[in-house]
A and B are shown apart, each in its own frame.
Chain A
Amino acid sequence: MSGPFDEPEGNWWDEPVNRREATWLGIAGVWSLAIFGWMSGFTRFGDQNPVGETYAVEPAEYRQTVQEYKEEAEQTDEGHIIPPGDSVYIGGQRFNWDGLPVVLEAGREYDIHMGAYDVQHGFSIRPEHSLSQQINLQILPDTEWVVPMTFEDSGTYHVICNEFCGRGHNGMHGTLYVEEP
């Protein structure tokens, strides 16, 4: 009879395993493979994947790109950006989101380009009408990330920064207005 302090006796490797323990090993093993299979499969058939093209880019370079995009874009009376095409550019900087507020059409697929000008930021977005519908993406200053998104529901979407970016981080907020076309 061995406890965890003792050297196991005899040929311990060949000791039989209790049948309930063996059954549990089977259940746990099948579950492990099943959740891996689902996660992997969802990248093929699912509609919500944190996947998109990424490009190495200097922060200054990215800022320039966003600037050019803003110059090309039209603006509403309130000063909200209307993207000229399917691409939307957003640049995180201490302590606001360059490129926001922006007005988008519901049901249209946009390529959302995200990057940062200074430090790391967190792109945390949710519609005002349903706070539990929220996603969060990490934004890095040396990378441009292009994640396609199609907002089905019209409404006001709030972006807050959820990566610590310095004193002032609390107030880093931006808005997307999704309107019926």
Chain B
Amino acid sequence: MLSTITQLFDNDYDEEGFRTCSVTGLEIHRSAENHVKLFGLTAVVALVVGGSFAITVALTRWEFIGLIGEADYYRHLSMHAWNILVFWMVFMEIAILYVGGAMVLGRRLPLTKLAKAGWITMVAGALGVNYFIWTTSGAEEAPLLTAYVPLNIPTGFFASAIVFLLGATIAALPFFATIWKEKRWGTRETLPLVTFGAFVTSIIAVQAILGGITAFSYGLIWKLGIIETINSGVYRTLFWTIGHGSQQINLLAMITVWYFLTHVVGGAVVVSEKVSRSAFILYLFFINLGAAHHLMVDPGLGVGWKLFNTSYAFYGAAFASMVHAFAIPAGLEAGRRQRGLGGGLFGWLTSAPWRNPVFSATIFSIILFGFVGGITGVLMGQLQLNMTWHNTFATVGHFHGTVALGTTLAFMGLVFFVIQTMFRRDFLSGTLALLVPYFYAGAMGIATLAMIYLGILYGVPRRTSSVVREIPGTDFSISAAAPLMSLFGVFAVLAILGGVLFVLVAVGSLLFGDRLDEGDDAGLRPDGGLQPDGGEPVHAVDMRGTFGMCLIFMATFVVLYVLNWFLLVQLWSIGA
């Protein structure tokens, strides 16, 4: 067993520790590759833990099954939230920083001791968070994701969360050192787009992490009795800098992965460096304001403050997302048209490598993130519409659209890619690997839509284990939602099975997959190689397919916007 694991960290490197990737053509140093593997594997472990709790959580919310009682439900929900929303994501994101930095730039990973120290600290923090959630008892309550004070949350939870965030900061330092070295001694005048995206991601991450350390420290010193009272509104404002900020890290990392994977497996080009980079810059300034979404129906904050922040400053960041929504598929369209692959409006897309799970996972991630996660995010972030979304099951639908569909699908694609290109293992079963994105995206997509409808049309709340069959102590219940809740239950279970399939294929291939020979690209390289040779300049290539898709997206956005407002104005008169 030990030798199998050691072998996972071995490849044929030259004397200086470099090798050339047969798929991307990148010069990869052992130090970068092994740390990417370390953080990536840890992320998959967190996914397995968090995913296991998806089973108990979903089968409880599907009240027809009602698997566990209320007291245990909150613990299970907390485990699900922290392991998926935080640990699976952040471990993957550190790996992505090392890919976007050292690997793309063809450098060694500097400060590897710090990378390892960061990993150990993160693991210690993550274990602590899991331990203190699981052992919550007596007068103390499970934290869920938010640890909303003055709820009596275990002291050790706050301490462990701080340790984890410190660990993530330490683990990011080698990335910053890579960028510094490149700018100081490197030959490039401009960073490649993927590195630039990773760099902006890391700055967003630092903002979020500092906010998180502040919030959890505030909770910790209150729990320790150093301060006597704690202000719940102040905590909420601090908490959401990490609470939503962490999810903005996911967003940026995911978009960076989109540029990366559409290029290496689909043959995408960058249609405009200027436009794509400007969109990242907009994120840098505005995306973290989106944390205010969570405070729209809070007392104590002014209307002007809410309007400015919830709109990410006049929708500067939503605009940036719509820029990427064009630029990424357009890159694919232009790259494939330049190679003469597929004519007509959508021929470039239909002829794409749909049998490659890395490709299909990436494309499903882009489409579902945009149509489900993105649109709902803007809708629920409108000051008034937020009244109908806040703390309902629709909110849970929104972040399953972004995280469980968008980011998780992109990261699944990336894990498959890393298995083939870095671990150099073939899939244990190509057919099963091919099925994963279709199965998971389909089932999770329907489960997510069901959550959104349950929240908006029936007012089903989040964070409860019993509301459709009965609300304890009263005759009232939201029983009308029972059929839709059953639909949700069935598809949530199927989505979890899709996740299980992913883990089986990934881990099975790592342990038992055939080793790929040197130079074998496992069929990953796009038709016609990575770079189209010549042809017309990229800006002159026809992008009407992408334009058409974007118009469909906009039409959907407008229709959903109008419907949500229509529902809102049916309500009684509220507010001064």
Contact = CB atoms under 8 A, between A and B. Distances in A.
Interface of A: 1-8, 12-13, 15-18, 20-21, 23-25, 27-29, 31-33, 35-36, 38-40, 42-43, 46-54, 56, 109, 114, 118-120, 122, 124, 126, 128, 131-145, 147-153, 158, 160-171, 173, 175
B467 interface: yes
A135 B233 contact: no
B141 interface: yes
A162 B464 contact: yes
Contact of A173 (B465, B476, B557): B476
A50 B384 contact: yes
Kindly name the residue among A4, A21, A39, A173 whose own CB sees the greatest number of chain B CB atoms within 10 A: A4
Contacts of A20: 330, 543-544, 546-547
Given A152-B573, A163-B391, 8 more contacts: A3-B268, A8-B192, A17-B274, A48-B575, A133-B570, A136-B459, A142-B232, A162-B461
B548 to A, nearest CB: 9
Given A49-B576, A109-B573, A171 B473 contact: yes
A120 B386 contact: no
20 contacts: A3-B268, A3-B530, A4-B193, A7-B191, A8-B273, A18-B334, A48-B568, A49-B575, A50-B384, A50-B574, A120-B148, A128-B476, A135-B388, A136-B387, A136-B392, A137-B387, A140-B236, A140-B300, A141-B232, A149-B573
A7 B188 contact: yes
B382 interface: yes
A15 to B, nearest CB: 6
Contacts of B144: 164
A143 B300 CA distance: 7
Nearest to B568: A48
Interface string B53-72: 00000000000000000110
B431 to A, nearest CB: 30
Contacts of B540: 18
A16 B539 contact: yes
Contacts of A124: 391-392, 459, 461
A12 to B, nearest CB: 4
Given A51-B575, A52-B575, A160-B471, A17 B463 contact: no
Interface string B25-40: 0100000000000000
B311 A131 contact: no
B311 A36 contact: yes
B386 A50 contact: yes
B326 interface: yes
B382 A48 contact: no
A51 B547 CA distance: 39
B269 A136 contact: no
A49 B572 CA distance: 11
Contacts of A29: 319
B543 A147 contact: no
B474 interface: yes
Nearest to A168: B70
Given A39-B307, A42-B384, A162-B462, A150 B573 contact: yes
B388 A136 contact: yes
B70 A120 contact: no
Contacts of A28: 319, 322-323, 326, 554
B571 A169 contact: no
A141 B476 contact: no
B532 interface: yes
B227 interface: no
A137 B232 contact: no
Interface string B290-328: 000001111110010001001100111011001100110
B104 A5 contact: yes
B576 A131 contact: no
B189 interface: yes
B236 to A, nearest CB: 8
Interface residues of B, number: 115
Given A24-B550, A51-B303, A15 B272 contact: yes
B52 interface: no
A55 to B, nearest CB: 9
Nearest to B296: A50
A85 to B, nearest CB: 17
A175 B295 CA distance: 25
A71 B397 CA distance: 43
SS class, residues of chain A in contact with chain B: mixed
Interface string B118-142: 0000000000000000000000010
Nearest to A96: B473
B559 interface: no
A109 B151 CA distance: 34
A132 B330 contact: no
B522 interface: no
B523 interface: no
A35 B306 CA distance: 14
Nearest to A131: B458
A133 B568 CA distance: 8
B569 A48 contact: yes
Given A21-B272, A52-B576, A162-B464, A5 B233 contact: no
A123 B307 CA distance: 22
A158 B272 CA distance: 53
A3 B274 CA distance: 13
A126 B245 CA distance: 32
A67 to B, nearest CB: 21
Nearest to A59: B150
A49 B141 contact: no
Given A136-B387, A164-B463, A15 B273 contact: yes
A5 B76 CA distance: 41
Given A132-B456, A140-B299, A5 B471 contact: no
A52 B299 CA distance: 8
A38 B310 CA distance: 13
Contacts of B20: none
A145 B299 contact: yes
B166 interface: no
A162 B393 CA distance: 10
Contacts of B71: 167
Contact of B539 (A17, A48, A141): A17
Nearest to B150: A119
Contacts of B574: 47-50, 135, 147-149
Contacts of A25: 275, 323, 326
Interface string B425-469: 000000000000000000000000000000011110111111100
Contacts of B303: 43, 49, 51
Contacts of B310: 39
A32 B322 CA distance: 10
Contacts of A33: 314-315
B403 interface: no
B488 interface: no
